Amino acid sequence: MPSNHESNRAGSAADAAVDRPKAGETRKLLRALHEDRVPPHARLYDEICRINPGKEHDPSELIECSIKLSPRGFSRQRHGGSVSWQPSDRSQLADSACKAAPNDAVQRALERPPTTGESPSPATPPSAKDPQLEALQKWAERGARFFSAIAYDFDAKVYKLYQFKHRPVAYFEELDLIQRQAELPSLAYIRSAEVPMDDPQKWSEALYFKLRFLTLAAAGTTTPSPSIVVPRQPSEILAADFRPHPLLSPGLLSALSKRAAVVDALGLLLKDLPVVNEPVVKLTPPVLDPAATPDQIRKAWADLAYGVSINLLDSAKIRFVEDHEALLLKIADAMGCEAQAKDWLKQIQPFDCFYSYLGLGPDSVTLYYRSTTLHRRRPAPHYRRGGTPLRDGTPPRDS
């Protein structure tokens, strides 16, 4: 039974206290975020509960929400979840993506034609589908990558499907983007299908790559030799001249008029953060004319917009949302959306949420967060404010 099973409401004060939202009650958290304006918001959570009984994770561990702040607005109706993470689950994404679809249009787009002897689904006419929709179905059915996830962005009205590849890793800084551009989808750490909820045939693919994120040790440090490479500091992604590849231009937060204020606040969030996992860069490769010259190709890459995300789950210092309200409001003020941020803080306050990832784009900051009290279904005191931090262990890689 899911950990956030809801009891019946009762009128007594005792029952009201029992029913008060708290950490780990994912369905209540999603209701608070969506305020019941989007009834399909629970489909993904229902699907995770359906496929997960008896497995190693509680459903509350598998759901991750996010907010996106930019001068264009404050987005909060966003969440996703893992649907497969074992080799035996390789074929699961296509089925789960259809069941968790946010509306009828996307569900029809992802419904597979019946096999021989089966009756056609009432939702799917027998006529052939649009070639783009057939390509989307084939994309979802690709079975080589067993780790997969699904996400909703109801503010942008985009449905996202993710397929991960853990090994082998092709680190982005080392790729020849010009000579190997055609290979980039197969080399990517994550392939993501981004499906417009109202117009599924206009779906597109985004690629994610891990960054090796190493630098030479500085002379005079405790490192035996300055020629030895060491991990870069997470805060380096905030530098105005940071670029994830020599062909790309520095671009993170570059479109913000109040960039300095945002960087100052994020610097506090990243302070003393170890490199938990390698950072990840997200992009869609430029579409190039076959007759493009080398200079035109390099310019296309230099002009490309991209994002970078970094893991915030330091088990020795969980970054609880409530402990970092001031820096969030500073970012929101710089973006012009402080009122919406305050409203969101009130919505999630009962759920003891903590940040899990930070994503940066040219003009946006995305903060991913969770609400759970468990790790692999066991009590996790470090996931509760005032709980005991774990000094000798770390959350699972790529969690």
Distance of CA 73 to the CA centre of its chain: 19
Q: Could you list the pLDDT tens digit for every one of the 399 residues in the chain? A: 444 433 333 333 444 445 789 999 999 999 999 976 667 789 999 999 999 888 889 999 999 999 999 999 999 999 999 999 888 888 889 999 999 999 999 999 999 876 555 555 555 444 457 899 999 999 999 876 789 999 999 999 999 999 998 788 999 999 999 999 999 999 999 999 999 999 999 999 999 999 999 987 665 555 555 568 888 999 999 999 999 999 999 999 999 999 999 999 999 999 999 999 999 999 999 999 999 999 999 999 999 999 999 999 998 899 999 999 999 999 999 999 999 999 999 999 999 999 999 999 999 999 999 999 999 999 999 999 987 766 544 443 333
Q: Which strand (E) or helix (H) includes residue 46?
A: helix 43-51
Structure tokens given for 364: 């946006």
CA distance 25 to 13: 20
Q: Where are the alpha helices (DSSP H) in 72-215?
A: 92-99, 104-110, 131-141, 184-187
CA distance 250 to 244: 8
CA distance 82 to 167: 18
CA distance 58 to 24: 9
**CB-count exposure of residue 347 (10 Å: 0-12, 13-18, 19+):** middle
With CA atoms as reference, report the closest residue to 68 among 372, 364, 399: 364
Domain ranges across the chain: 20-118+128-383
CA atoms within 13 A on the CB side of 329: 10
With CA atoms as reference, report the closest residue to 259 among 364, 373, 120: 364
Whether the bond into 168 is cis, omega within 30 of 0: yes
Structure tokens given for 261: 């204020």
SS3 state at 158: strand
Show the CA angle centred on residue 177, arms to residues 230 and 294, nearest 5°.
130
Q: Measure Cα distances from 99 to 42, 93, 95, 157, 182 in Å.
A: 11, 10, 6, 17, 32
* Residue written as token pair 């997969």: 148
Question: What residue ranges in 39-124 does DSSP mark as E strands?
Answer: 63-70, 73-75, 78-84
63 within 8 A of 26, measured Cβ to Cβ? yes
